[in-house]
Each structure stands twice: as structure tokens, then as C-alpha cells.
Chains A and B, each alone.
Chain A
Amino acid sequence: MKPEEFEKLLCAAARESTAPEPSERWVENVMRAAVHSSAGETGTRMQLGGWASCSVALACVVLFAGSYLNQDTRWEEDELLPPEEYEEISLL
């Protein structure tokens, strides 16, 4: 068979393979991590509610997003995603 047909054969097999599904335990872990990931900001906000805590939380999230962008998602030459795209999905 031709190489392109071979590639299609492989990709079709990969497409048919089943992915895991989200479990209840996974959802609980995500929620726990979401609260912990922003402890002192969103965690507090969730308890207090209201505009004042919301402002504090937003400031913290902006700071966190800034450091996150500087560390893990920094654009480097010849990589896939330009910084403006990260900005689009992040806070800054």
C-alpha cells in the first residue's frame, strides 16, 4: 500500500482507540486542586463572596497568571504558540 494509505490506516486505528472517561474521584480531585491552587485568593473568595474579596482575588489571579506566563508558557523562538495567543487565554 502507498505510504499515505499506511498513514491513514494507523490514524484510523488511533481514532478508534477509546480514551479514559472522567470519574467522580477525578472531579473531586480537580475541585480540591482548584481551591488549593488559589488558596488565599479564590479559596477566601469562595467563603466570603462579595465585591471586596473578588477584587483581592482578581489581583492575586493576575499576579499568579503573570508568574505563570513567565515560567511555563513563555514564548520561545521556533515554538508553536506566540505569546499573544497565551494572552488571549490568560488574564493578562
Chain B
Amino acid sequence: MRLFWVFLATGFAIPLFGQQFTVSASTLSNGMKVLVHEDHRIPSVAMYFFFKVGSRNERPGTTGVSHFFEHMMFNGAKKYGPKQFDVQMEKNGGRNNASTGPDLTTYTDWFPATALELMFDMESDRIRDLAFDPKIVESERGVVYSERRTAIDNNPFGVLFEQLTAAAFVAHPYHWPVVGWASDIESWTMDDLKAHFKMGYAPNNCVLVITGDVTQEQVQSLARKYLEPIPRQEGPPPVRTKEPEQLGERRVVIERPTELPIVGVAYHVPPTNHADEPALDLLAAVLSNGRTSRLYKRLVDDGQLATEVNMFNQPSLDPGLLFAILQVRQGVDPGKVEKAMFEEVDRVAHDGVTTAELSKARNQRLVALYENFKTIAGKADLIGTYEVYYGDYRKLMTAAQDLEKVTAADVQRVAAKYLSAKNRTVATLISGPEPSKESAGKESSQ
């Protein structure tokens, strides 16, 4: 195997709040991108792997397999057998987690600098030679089902979010839940798992970010030794399906036992790397961030219609959704809450926002951005997220300026363009009888 290290950029530094923020970037010969940021304040390291595979790369019948796979990655490989990843990690003072979304599966390790080589060894082992023990697959199926039961089936917000998203997308794979439909969780086969691994865990489909008490040279030499020998594979095929334009408002009603009703609204918005994204971000802040936001004032404070309102936009590679979730006060008609919310949204679209509101939203977002710079974990997350969603981590360096450039007219324009009645899906969760059985079908027994 040819071993070489291609330098795309080294020591790329930008002045961020008066200090140099340096990231060195390189690509291994097998296509894995490696980004390093040194920070020696505490003797710890954050190591994040971003695999560009998620529920959008699934199909009906195997929904949830990306997330299931995230669990399997902790269940043993060739050199480090079952449980060893966690056992070794914890006994060396480290901790890990992993998460799966529609676009990405992310593995996050935090550990003392002394465990750096061990982590490279263990990570390369599982990326290259994961084991597929049928007994472990069955046990892990139970764990994932338990996760679904907790996060969705027994949680009114979980049910609402799942139904709302499914109604908003009729064609694109964002339609199904990341955790998977219950019947699919019961039915994945070993072949589904193996095929998914081969496709999603290709080194050329991965971005590695390391921040903390390391040197770039140390990381380079360990990456060459452990990760570069992993052979390149064909990554996931492009997602071909595009969501057709929505032609009118869609509505979903969910009946289940609940103390308070919930209203969820989802608007189709462009992907994260779209030019309108900063304006949409500030629009969401003006509408729902803080007690002086328009929706909080109108719905929670003045109107006493809702206990809380939250508007958020998840990063997405394909066109995604901007959500608003409102918990309705006791005795209030959900229709009234909804109407008040739409009036506020329309008011922005018709009359725009004030300079003070815009400046407030910018400051709020700036503080949130800076918060992430306080920790090595936050920085690893930011660097990787920008690299994946914008195709270039250096976009992070202009995040503050991009917010600066947004004008009040931009915010008004995106409100009118995306937050229209025709472009929205509304889900209402109201109190009703309990579901007759758990989600779907029988559950696998352990």
C-alpha cells in the first residue's frame, strides 16, 4: 500500500476574537480527511469521526439501519472483541458516545492525551474489521427497540415529531424516522447490516477531527499508521429522490393520552449550505429565541396560550425543514395557538423586522457560537459540522461575518418565501385513547 499524506492546507489560521484559530487539514491516501486543532489548556483530547451516512441513505424495509449500526460499532471487531472498546476506553480514563441523524453517523471520543494511540488502534480496528455476531445483533435489536419506545412511543414530542416529519416529506428519505419504523427494527437481516457497513464506513466517506492536547505531527503519524491502510470503498450512492414542491398546507392529527396538547409546524427550507441559511437562522431567532422573541411574547407571555415555543432548523445536506413546536396551555384551543403563531409569522413577512431585533438575534447567535469554542468537544463538533455541511471547515471562520451581512430585508424576504401556508405542515397532538398496541407488529423477544 502506498502511504502518503497529501497536504491540502497546513496551519490555516484565522484571527478569531483576537486569537489565532489554527486547523491543519490533510487527506490520507484512502480518502479520509483529517482535521487537527491543537489546544493544550487541559490534558485531554476530543476525537470525532463523521461518517457521511444516515437515514437518508436507507430504503423502506431497512429504515433505522444506520442508527442500529451505530450501536453495532461498539460490539466487537477483530483485535478488540465484544465490550472491549468500552472496557479499554474507560479503564484508560476515556468516555465515548455516538449519534445518528438523517445525514451523518458521528462517533465521539473524549480521553486523556495518554490514550491517543490506543484510540487510533481501536477506532481503526472497528472501521476496518467489525464483527457481526448474530447473538449480539439480536440483543442490540432489543436495546434499539427500547430506545425507540423511550424517545418516541412513550414521549408525546417524539410521536409528534415523527408524524410531522413523515407528513412533510412524501418522497425524500427524510420521510422516515432516524431510529426506524418499529416493523423495520424487527426485521433487519445480517445482509442488510453488512451491506450498510461496506457502503457507509468507507474511509473516503469519513472526516476525522481531533482537537485538544495533541500535536499535528503526532496525529499525522498515528493516522498514517492506523487509518491509512484501511482500503478505499465505494461510498453511498447519491440520493436521487428530490422532494416535490408542496402544493398546499398539510395537516395531521395525533390522538394519544397527553396532559397538554402540542402543535408542531414544519416548513420546507433549503439545505444548510444555501445562501439563505444565515437569514433563516436569524429569522428563527427573532421569532422564538428568548423572552423578547415575537412568538414567546405573543403566545407564552401576553397571550398565555402556550407554555413554551421553540423554533429550530436542523442542519441538512438536502432541503430540510424549519420546525416550530408549541406546547399548548391547559384549556386552550390548539387552533387558537396556531392562528396566533401564523399571524406573527405573517407579520414578519409583511412588515419585516426592526434593526434592534436583527442585532439582538445576531448577538444571540454569536454567543451561542462562542459557547462552542469554550471546549475541545465543541470545537471538534463545529469543525466537523462545517466541513460536512458546507464542504469546507474554513466556512466556520466566516460564520460571524455571514451573520453580519444579513439585512432586515433578507429576513423579511426569507419569511415571505419559506414560511407560507402552502409550504407548511401542521401536526396537532391532542388527548385521546391509548394506542391499541405498540407501534406495529410483535416485538422481538430476547
A associates with B? no
A contacts, CB < 8 Å to B: none
B contacts, CB < 8 Å to A: none
